Each structure stands twice: as structure tokens, then as C-alpha cells.
């Protein structure tokens, strides 16, 4: 497998996803002026003119990113598109096309792929995106879906992860933690079902959580809203891995610190009650849960009045100098350093 047999072996799980990407891409030399941004943001940014092209790709693997025992294929198709569109919106852009590549084992009949594509087509229709190509191949085990999304943004509107400045406000859309809890609820029902196949799933109290896990919506509306409010964020990222790791991406790339106030983190009532029931801390779930596909962005303080009244947007803190680090200010007014969360699967 390795060309140099004497080389020592480093376990990937010891490095983690972000360090691995950094390691593999650190020596890339860009050959083209038109590659404005390569590795390191939610999308690559390409172009020579006032209109830039955005490109992003994500790979979903059965057993790692989805479990077909509770993920209907139609939802999976829809979600696979959302995951990609979310990255385009995180650049303040609009998504135009996708390509879809799949690898499937012979366990899947035609009808299964029709369902998957019903979800993909629905996402394309809802979000006005054209499906323009892809690739189809077989796999020895399970299903893999790789979607690439292509979008565009006016040069003057593009927002990177690296533009946050001290005193900017840190803003998050929607609410956090529900998708992760939805997954926990579905996992629990799966275990009940494995013991007793006649058991009826009990999901009524968790409908919002399950919907957030199975049918996330990318925040196209926020890009439009910010345009209408005439607010251009100074930095932006989508929340796919959990609030804490996205905050750290912005801080690292912008070379700043931040203060995030625990009591400002937006949580749905169902998240709060389910956390109580499961005896887990709702802040931990919001910080580390992931798959929310909300947007996290920073704005200059003078834009505060423009966003203040909007129920979709919560100011959760502000940007500080780099040497102050990334801090969570707890309800008890303690300062805790924000660390990247430790879910072991690579996302």
C-alpha cells in the first residue's frame, strides 16, 4: 500500500479530520490567477471577472454519515444536496448547479435509487438548482454519494472565513443542537426495534428534532435576507460540525479571539426538554452536535440595528483580539476556553 515501506505509520484517528486536510494540502502551489481561493473555506472561489464561481463537494458514506435503517432514501437524497448548498450560501453566494456521483452495491434495486433521486430532484426544484451530471459506479459494500455544488457570487459580495475583526458581533441563524438530538432519538428507536421488531416508534415528542436530522434546509433565505437588510458579513461559515469547531475556524482564519455567551445560544424548546430527559447538557449539544446547517457569521457593530429585530438571527457574542483566545462565558459568568469537539467520525 505504501511506496516507502520503511515509513512509520500514523493513525488517522490520532490526527483528526482538520489536521489531516491541513497536512495533505499544505504544500499546494496554485498555478492560476483565476484560483482566488483554494482549500480552506466552505467553497473554492474561481474567476477573473466581477462574477465569481463557487465550487464545493461533499462525500456521504453509508454507515458513517447515514444509516438507512432510519434514513428514508428520499430524505437522504434531499439532505445530500442541502449539505452542499449550505456551503455555497456560507460564501454569501447563490447555488446554480450540482453534479451527483453514486456508488452502490447490488443490494440496492432500481426502486431504491428512484427514491434517492426523488429527494435530489425535490431539493433541486425547491432551491432552483440544476442537476447537470455526475457518475455512477458499483461498490462492494453499501452506498456512497458525492455531490458537487457550483454557485456564483458577485466579487464585492463574497464572504470568507477570514474577515472577522475585533469588536465585530458574532451571529448565528436559527437554533442549534436539534439535528444531533434527532439522531440520538432515532438511534434509540433503532435499538428498541432491534430488541422488539413489533415496537412502534415513539417520535411524537421529538418531531422537530427528527425533522432537523432527516430533512435539514440550507439557509438560502438568510443570504437573501442579508442582501435585503444591506448587511455584508465580515466572515461566514456554515455549521456542519458543531458551533465550537466553526467558531474556531473563523477565529483561526481571521486571527482573532471571541467571547461567546452561553445564555445567548439559541435553543428550541424541544432541545431543552429532550436534553433534560436524556440528562445531557444543552450547551454541549449546541456546541458539539453538528449537522445543523445554520450559518455563523460576524458583522460590524454598526450593522447591529439592521439585524436586531430579526427572529432568525441571534447575536451570541463578539470578536476579540487573538491573544484573548476563544472563550465561552457561562451562565455562571465563568470563562471556559472553547475547544474543537471530539466526535471521532470524520465528517
Among residues 274, 282, 120, 59, the alpha carbon closest in space to that of 182 is found at: 274
Q: How far apart are CA 173 and CA 219, in angstroms?
A: 8
Task: Describe the strand order of the beta sheet including 51-61 as a list of residue ranges.
Answer: 35-37, 44-46, 51-61, 143-154, 94-104, 130-138
Please give the grid coordinates belonging to residue 191.
435499538
Q: Which one among 58, 87, 152, 168 touches Mg ion, defined by CB under 5 A? A: 87
- Nearest residue (CB) to ligand ADP, 190 versus 255: 255
- Nearest residue (CB) to ligand ADP, 34 versus 205: 34
Map residues 41-70 to x or -, x wherever contact with Mg ion holds by CB under 5 A. -x----------------------------
Stretch that binds Mg ion, among 13-21, 117-125, 232-240, 268-276 (CB under 5 A): 232-240
Stretch that binds ligand ADP, among 36-44, 170-178, 221-229, 253-261 (CB under 6 A): 36-44
- Nearest residue (CB) to ligand ADP, 87 versus 217: 87
Strands 94-104 and 130-138: parallel
- Nearest residue (CB) to ligand ADP, 2 versus 110: 2
Burial-class residue 106 by CB neighbours within 10 Å (0-12, 13-18, 19+): exposed
Site for ligand ADP in 263-302 (CB under 6 A): none
- Nearest residue (CB) to ligand ADP, 56 versus 327: 56
Q: Which residues pair with 58 in a beta bridge?
A: 147
- Nearest residue (CB) to ligand ADP, 44 versus 275: 44
- Nearest residue (CB) to Mg ion, 181 versus 236: 236
- Confirm or reject binding of residue 25 to ligand ADP (CB under 6 A): yes
Say which DSSP state 268 is in: -
Q: How far apart are CA 206 and CA 186, in angstroms?
A: 10
Which region, left, alpha or beta, applies to residue 40 given φ > 0 means left and ψ of -120 to 50 means alpha? left
- Smallest separation, CB 197 to ligand ADP (Å): 37
Stretch that binds Mg ion, among 141-149, 156-164, 237-245, 311-319 (CB under 5 A): 237-245
Site for Mg ion in 4-43 (CB under 5 A): 42
Task: Describe the strand order of the beta sheet including 257-261 as a list of residue ranges.
Answer: 235-239, 294-299, 169-173, 313-320, 257-261, 326-329, 335-337
- Smallest separation, CB 237 to Mg ion (Å): 6
Q: Which residues of 127-155 are buried (b: 16+ CB within 10 A; e: fewer)?
A: bebebeeeeeeebeebbbbbbbbbbbbee
Q: Which residue has 426495534 as its cell numbers?
A: 193
Q: Which one among 16, 36, 40, 47 touches ligand ADP, defined by CB under 6 A? A: 40
- Smallest separation, CB 324 to ligand ADP (Å): 25
Map residues 220-249 to x or -, x wherever contact with ligand ADP holds by CB under 6 A. --------------------x---------
- Nearest residue (CB) to ligand ADP, 240 versus 314: 240
Would you say 298 and 164 are in contact if contact means Cβ atoms under 8 Å apart? yes
Stretch that binds ligand ADP, among 2-10, 38-46, 150-158, 173-181 (CB under 6 A): 38-46
Q: Which one among 189, 217, 238, 294 touches Mg ion, defined by CB under 5 A? A: 238
Question: To which H or E segment does residue 12 belong?
Answer: helix 12-15
C-alpha distances (whole Å) from 153 to each of 86, 105, 157, 305 are 14, 38, 6, 25
Would you say 91 and 151 are in contact if contact means Cβ atoms under 8 Å apart? yes
Site for ligand ADP in 67-96 (CB under 6 A): 87
- Smallest separation, CB 121 to ligand ADP (Å): 23
- Smallest separation, CB 87 to ligand ADP (Å): 5
Q: Residues interacting with ligand ADP, by CB under 6 A?
A: 21, 24-25, 39-42, 58, 87, 240
Q: Site residues (CB under 5 A) for Mg ion?
A: 42, 87, 238
Amino acid at each position: 500500500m505504501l511506496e516507502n515501506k520503511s515509513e512509520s505509520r500514523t493513525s488517522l484517528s490520532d490526527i483528526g479530520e482538520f489536521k489531516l486536510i491541513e497536512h495533505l494540502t499544505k504544500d499546494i502551489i496554485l498555478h492560476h490567477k483565476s484560483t482566488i481561493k483554494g482549500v480552506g473555506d466552505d467553497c473554492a472561489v474561481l474567476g477573473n471577472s466581477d462574477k465569481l464561481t463557487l465550487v464545493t463537494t461533499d462525500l456521504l458514506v453509508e454507515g458513517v454519515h447515514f444509516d438507512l435503517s432510519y434514513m428514508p432514501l428520499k430524505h437522504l437524497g434531499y439532505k445530500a444536496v442541502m449539505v452542499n448548498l449550505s456551503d455555497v450560501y456560507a460564501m454569501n453566494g447563490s447555488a446554480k448547479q450540482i453534479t451527483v456521483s453514486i456508488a452502490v452495491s447490488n443490494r440496492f434495486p432500481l426502486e431504491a435509487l428512484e427514491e434517492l433521486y426523488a429527494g435530489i430532484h425535490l431539493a433541486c426544484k425547491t432551491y432552483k438548482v440544476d442537476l447537470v451530471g455526475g457518475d455512477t459506479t458499483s461498490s462492494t459494500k453499501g452506498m456512497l454519494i458525492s455531490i458537487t455544488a457550483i454557485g456564483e457570487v458577485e466579487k464585492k459580495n463574497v464572504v470568507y472565513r477570514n474577515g472577522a475583526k475585533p469588536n465585530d458581533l458574532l451571529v448565528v441563524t436559527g437554533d442549534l443542537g436539534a439535528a444531533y438530538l434527532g439522531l440520538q432519538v432515532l438511534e434509540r428507536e433503532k435499538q428498541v426495534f432491534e430488541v422488539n421488531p413489533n415496537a412502534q416508534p415513539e417520535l411524537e415528542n421529538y418531531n422537530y428534532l427528527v425533522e432537523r436530522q432527516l430533512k435539514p434546509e440550507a439557509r438560502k433565505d438568510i443570504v437573501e435576507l442579508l442582501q435585503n437588510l444591506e448587511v455584508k458579513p465580515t466572515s461566514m461559515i456554515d455549521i456542519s460540525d458543531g458551533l465550537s469547531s466553526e467558531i474556531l475556524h473563523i477565529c483561526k482564519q481571521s486571527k482573532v479571539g471571541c467571547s461567546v455567551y452561553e445564555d445567548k445560544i439559541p435553543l428550541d424548546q424541544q432541545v431543552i426538554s429532550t436534553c433534560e430527559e436524556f440528562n445531557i447538557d444543552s450547551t454541549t449539544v449546541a456546541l458539539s452536535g453538528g449537522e445543523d446547517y445554520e450559518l455563523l457569521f460576524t458583522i460590524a457593530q454598526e450593522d447591529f440595528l439592521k439585524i436586531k429585530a430579526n427572529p432568525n438571527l441571534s447575536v451570541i457574542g463578539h470578536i476579540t483580539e487573538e491573544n484573548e483566545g476563544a472563550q465561552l462565558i457561562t451562565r455562571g459568568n465563568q470563562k471556559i476556553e472553547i475547544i474543537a469537539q471530539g466526535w471521532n467520525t470524520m465528517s
